[in-house]
Amino acid sequence: MNSNNVSEKYIKDSNLKRLKALSEKEIKNNVSDFYTKYFAVYHLQSLAQKNPGILDQETIATIQNLLKDPVYADQRQGLFIFRQAAETLGSVIIHSDEKYLAEMALSALKNVLKTTSGYAHRACTETLGAFPLNISGPDLRDADIKHIPLVSWQEISDNNSFANSIRPVFFGRSLAVPLDCGNRLLVLKFARTDDSPQDLLRESLWMEHLHFANYSFPLKFNVPRAMKIKNSHVIRIKDPPSRLPEKIDFHRKGYAIGFVAHKDYFSYPNDFKKEKQLTENRFKEVILRNAWLLGNLTSAGIIHFAPIPLFHNRVQRNRRRDRGVYEWFRAGRLDRWLESCLFPNFGLTGIRDFEHLVSLNGYNLYRHIGNHFLSLLLVAGSYFRNKDVSRIGFDKNGKPVDARDLFNRQFFKEIIQGIFQNYYHGFTKTEFTGELPLNLDELTLRMIEEMGVDRHMEEIFRAADQQEMTDKEFSRFLKTRGYSDKEINNFQRGEKDISIHSGPHLGEFNHDISLPELIEAVGTMSALCVAGKYLDKVEKRSELSNNAHVAWQ
């Protein structure tokens, strides 16, 4: 390098260091207004991306203190400056060649996660959750359905050894009958009115893929085996052996798929039936195993979209942009949380209902991992409530039922921590080390407080939603929510809003969730998973590079 180049580099570095020092000074200055500080952080982020060698420990300390600044904690504009600040630390982690500096920046983000809430906390989780991961799911293309055979129950019986004198039983829209071997079920899963044959086929294809692709599941995971009848996965049943349940809206053509599953396929970790309830040790094994399996599948680019059905507002599904589906990162009210946990899509056999599996392709990984954590944590809470399903809603004096005594606080805390650790291990293939930046004691107490007392039971049946229904649908809707025929006859459909007690919900109708600590915990857990996998890959690449350099020498 000649003297001119050295001089130019010196001048450039000097100017950048002055910009760094000036930006830090403006951030620390209590007199500086929002925009001055915002652009000062912007300049530091630019340096972190393009000239990370200019930054040092002072920069990280300055940014960390800004993220803890109470001045912006409750201001909407605070989210924007906190995002800029958190992304600056994220840029240091990604772009800095100095390992100690990247570790300091990560430590600063974790410190903010543990000591703040609200906008600062959200900014840090979103930054960690946005770390780049090169994960792509399997290319699972649907086969063309050229012919759907019409099949009789006798034909199905002839091809399978049913256990004698045992009638088939419906579990939701699935008809199950034990096979002679005793530990397996033949299951026929019927299409609903709005399902297409292609929707059913997709589930069968996922079963085949998980059976025959090269996946390693060291933990118990009983993947059902898809059946083909007359060379077709999708069939039409012309004479089902049991009467179809009235509450299920079946497709009129009788589309179905068949598969053979383990006898415990319809056994749930949080069953409300006394005879099927698990001991604490058994429940712990089942839910932690499923946390690991969900993390493991996600790591392979296979996302389960609905471990449980989560809604912000079920009634308004047809009128809302989000179809009423719960978006946890918005922290809105959670509709009928206990009802959502009734039949989770994971259980004693592992992950279930493969119709909800999707190959990762452009989806926001951080948000979907968050859905998994939220589902697992809610099911954990429902395990305690389901010990006595009679205690729900309001008592005879109109006061919220208090079921907090059903919870084992210490065991619940162990489950919350175990869900994170097992999902993290399944997703990253490494053990989580260090301190979890969560106050687990406080989180456990708050979850028991909100999940154990049914304060929020009401939802509003809007007149606009009533108008979307027929008179028959309107009457049926109110009847399923406890209204008598006499009361229903007094209503005029679409005339006015109707108050319905359909909870428990987590939060008042049209308000935020009553358990914001749960949302922040979900964000933290999800962010740590994404960041942990990213940092592990970086570490392994660095080791490979160093080994190659040594070998070359």
Residue with tokens 């900014």: 123
- Asked whether residue 27 carries a pLDDT value surpassing 70, the answer given is yes
- Asked whether residue 131 carries a pLDDT value surpassing 60, the answer given is yes
The span from the CA of 348 to the CA of 263, in Å, is 10
- Asked whether residue 520 carries a pLDDT value surpassing 60, the answer given is yes
The span from the CA of 400 to the CA of 389, in Å, is 14
Portion of the chain with pLDDT greater than 90, in percent: 65
The span from the CA of 409 to the CA of 411, in Å, is 6
- Asked whether residue 173 carries a pLDDT value surpassing 80, the answer given is yes
- Asked whether residue 274 carries a pLDDT value surpassing 80, the answer given is yes
Structure confidence at residue 364 (pLDDT) = 83
The span from the CA of 84 to the CA of 124, in Å, is 10
Q: How many CB atoms lie within 10 A of CB 38?
A: 17
Structure confidence at residue 405 (pLDDT) = 98
Which band of pLDDT confidence, cut at 50, 70 and 90, is reported for residue 539? confident
Residue with tokens 């199950």: 176
Q: Calculate ∠ Cα 86-443-530, nearest 5°.
A: 40
Residue among 308, 305, 296, 307 at smallest CA distance from 210:
296
DSSP three-state, residue 357: strand
Structure confidence at residue 144 (pLDDT) = 76
283 vs 162, more confident: 283
The span from the CA of 459 to the CA of 465, in Å, is 13
Structure confidence at residue 246 (pLDDT) = 73
- Asked whether residue 249 carries a pLDDT value surpassing 80, the answer given is no
DSSP three-state, residue 268: coil
Structure confidence at residue 319 (pLDDT) = 56
Which band of pLDDT confidence, cut at 50, 70 and 90, is reported for residue 8? low
Which band of pLDDT confidence, cut at 50, 70 and 90, is reported for residue 548? very low
Boundaries of every domain in the chain: 3-130, 150-262, 274-457+512-535, 458-501
351 neighbors 293 (Cβ within 8 angstroms): yes
Of 4-18, 50-64, 163-177, the poorest mean pLDDT is in 4-18
Which band of pLDDT confidence, cut at 50, 70 and 90, is reported for residue 9? low
Structure confidence at residue 550 (pLDDT) = 36
Mean pLDDT of the 516-524 span: 98
- Asked whether residue 165 carries a pLDDT value surpassing 70, the answer given is no
Pairing of strands 225-226, 169-171: unpaired
**What is the Rg, in whole angstroms, of the alpha carbon atoms belonging to the chain?**
27
520 vs 192, more confident: 520
Of 217-226, 284-293, 327-336, 353-362, the poorest mean pLDDT is in 353-362
Mean pLDDT of the 144-161 span: 83
Which band of pLDDT confidence, cut at 50, 70 and 90, is reported for residue 517? very high
How high is the mean pLDDT of the chain? 89
Handedness of CA 233, 238, 240, 241 (dihedral sign): negative
- Asked whether residue 279 carries a pLDDT value surpassing 80, the answer given is yes
CA-CA-CA-CA torsion for 89, 90, 94, 100, nearest 10 degrees? Answer: 40
Portion of the chain with pLDDT greater than 70, in percent: 92
The span from the CA of 505 to the CA of 332, in Å, is 11
Which band of pLDDT confidence, cut at 50, 70 and 90, is reported for residue 295? very high
Structure confidence at residue 388 (pLDDT) = 96
Q: Calculate ∠ Cα 84-89-90, nearest 5°.
A: 90
Mean pLDDT of the 324-350 span: 95
Mean pLDDT of the 151-159 span: 83
Mean pLDDT of the 24-37 span: 93
Structure confidence at residue 375 (pLDDT) = 98
270 vs 53, more confident: 270
351 neighbors 221 (Cβ within 8 angstroms): yes
Which band of pLDDT confidence, cut at 50, 70 and 90, is reported for residue 430? very high
Structure confidence at residue 553 (pLDDT) = 33
Residue 214 sits at φ, ψ, to 5 deg, of -85, 70
Mean pLDDT of the 200-224 span: 91
pLDDT in tens, 372-391: 999 999 999 999 999 999 99
Instruction: Please give the structure tokens belonging to residue 455.
Output: 């304060």
Of 163-172, 175-184, 339-348, 466-475, the poorest mean pLDDT is in 163-172
Structure confidence at residue 546 (pLDDT) = 47
289 neighbors 219 (Cβ within 8 angstroms): yes
pLDDT in tens, 33-74: 999 999 999 999 999 999 999 999 999 999 999 999 999 888
Rounded to two decimals, the pTM is: 0.92
Mean pLDDT of the 333-343 span: 96
- CATH (one of 3.30.70, 2.30.30, 1.10.3470, 3.30.200) for 150-262: 3.30.200
Structure confidence at residue 320 (pLDDT) = 57
First to last CA, the chain: 25
Instruction: Please give the structure tokens belonging to residue 222.
Output: 């009983």
- Asked whether residue 549 carries a pLDDT value surpassing 60, the answer given is no
Which band of pLDDT confidence, cut at 50, 70 and 90, is reported for residue 86? very high
